[in-house]
Chain A
């Protein structure tokens, strides 16, 4: 039964091998009266993840700042524990709000890694679910389904995408409410076992929180993901192209520079996701262009390069 079905929860392995963060620092037996914070920091390797975050994710300044704060808090909490100061583990449930394609899922995955390195969660995996995975179709179906997902997420991070679909005010007998109640109970009582991150578009999440004050008050960290600036999107595009082992020719770069502001003004603009789609379509056109010249062998360079015409064929320029 390990084969995840298409609509089943996706599990992403965020745990870096060989990093038992939890027992590294906490094993110190006798409470001393001083603690070396920088040694703890080096010990947890959390800086590497944070630097990676800085290097690989473009923009998102407020989000990065908040993640650093959380990391600092957890590190200090570990230091306090070493000195025998007990404050109860801080609540780390989070809500990620932002427009489509602003990197909520990507950051959630990183969050799982960071929390694992800091020893806050034991395994550091991310279980990404939506309403379908939590809410059942029939009476009595929801509770076992939600509980099963929660059990799978324990020791890691539960990421609920588009969480507002859990609550359907227009149908008072909707089973989503039941899922929320179970979720709240676990969020409160088993704080050590899992971290819940709810995510969705800003305005709809706000309504969702207003109608579920219990949920809102149990979430300590509300992170808002800002939209990307055109130059940030350009940089993101460069990275995507590089990641797909392609290259932009100079004309393609110029086309991209014009394309982004044009695309941003169009409806259904989804930030980085729109850029990815645009690049995918450019790849399609490049393939078509190369195919049209069949009869001769292609060089590695030709196979790698996206030309300006591949991008300019887009309907955005029309």
Chain B
């Protein structure tokens, strides 16, 4: 099952040229670029690992692209995303975030039913991938 998280995730995977164009757009807006990766695909997993520091004061996408490519080389089977952070007062948050790399095989999620208090049921989702320990999931 294909994970859809962040901007453009319902589109086909972005090519490198498209990623570069998006980064250029973000830089033109004055946003800082950060690269993050994880192998836990749960939508509520907010704790992605940072690939180096966020890059402030860039002018051209080439610098950020080298980091994306380096991260992809080190973690070819992880989810990698590019975040664009807007430091303008009032926003001070991520304005754009999109996935730039994903595992070749995404096993998807299991729906778990937990019976509590008689006949009530609690539902939870669990990724099949996270059944294995971190680092060996994909």
Which A residues are within 8 Å of any B CB, using their own CB? 1-2, 4, 11, 122-123, 125, 144, 148, 150-152, 154-156, 190, 193-194
- B interface residues with partner A (beta carbon < 8 Å): 32, 52-53, 55-64, 66-67, 87
CB distance from A141 to the nearest CB of B (A): 13
- Contact partners of A154 in chain B: CB under 8 A: 58-60, 62-63
Residues of B within 8 A of A148 (CB): 53, 55
Q: Decide: B59 and A125 in contact? CB cutoff 8 A.
A: yes
Q: Do A1 and B62 have beta carbons less than 8 Å apart? A: no
Most chain B Cβ neighbours within 10 Å, of A1, A11, A151 = A151
- CA of A23 to CA of B15, assembled, Å: 20
Which residues of chain A come closer than 8 Å to B59, judged between CB atoms? 11, 123, 125, 152, 154-156
Return chain B residues, CB-CB under 8 Å to A151. Answer: 55, 58, 62-64, 66-67
Q: How far is the CB of B24 from chain A (nearest CB, A)?
A: 9
The distance in angstroms between the C-alpha atoms of A194 and B59, with both chains bound, is 11
- Complex Cα gap A155–B32 (Å): 16
Whether A1 contacts B60 by the Cβ 8 Å rule is no
Q: Roughly how many angstroms separate A193 CA and B60 CA in the complex, as a whole number?
A: 9
A11-B58 Cα distance, complex, nearest whole Å: 11
Contact A190 B62 (CB under 8 A): yes
Compute how far the CA of A144 lies from the CA of B53 in the bound complex, rounded to whole angstroms. 10
Instruction: Report B-chain residues with C-beta under 8 Å of the C-beta of A122.
Output: 60, 62
CA gap between A1 and B57 in the complex, in Å: 8
| Most chain A beta-carbon neighbours within 10 Å: one of B55, B63, B64 | B63
Q: 20 other contacts beyond A151-B67, A152-B58, A154-B58, with CB at 8 A cut-off? A: A1-B32, A1-B87, A2-B57, A2-B87, A4-B57, A11-B57, A123-B60, A148-B53, A148-B55, A150-B63, A151-B55, A151-B62, A152-B57, A154-B62, A154-B63, A155-B59, A156-B59, A190-B62, A193-B60, A194-B62
List, sorted by A's number, 10 A–B pairs whose CB atoms are closer than 8 Å: A2-B87, A11-B57, A122-B62, A148-B53, A152-B58, A152-B59, A154-B58, A155-B60, A156-B60, A193-B62
The CA-CA distance from A150 to B58 in the complex, in Å, is 10
Chain A residues whose C-beta falls within 8 Å of the C-beta of B87 in the assembled complex? 1-2
B58 / chain A contacts, CB cutoff of 8 Å: 151-152, 154
Cα of A125 to Cα of B61 in the assembled complex, Å? 14
**B55 CB contacts on chain A under 8 angstroms:** 148, 151
Contacts of B32 in A (CB 8 A): 1
Q: Nearest Cβ in chain A — how far from B117, in angstroms?
A: 51
Chain B proximity of A107: nearest CB distance (Å): 21
Tell me, rounded to whole Å, the shortest Cβ–Cβ distance linking B50 to chain A.
13
Interchain nearest-CB distance for A14 vs B (Å): 11
Question: Nearest Cβ distance between residue B29 and chain A, in whole angstroms?
Answer: 13
Task: Provide the residues of chain A in CB contact with B66, threshold 8 Å.
Answer: 151, 190
CB distance from B62 to the nearest CB of A (A): 4
- A88 CA to B4 CA in the complex, in Å? 40
Name the contact of B62 in the complex, choosing from A2, A4, A155 (C-beta under 8 A): A155
Cα separation A144 to B63 with both chains bound (whole Å): 13
Contacts of A123 in B (CB 8 A): 59-60
Least CB distance, B60 to chain A, in whole angstroms: 2
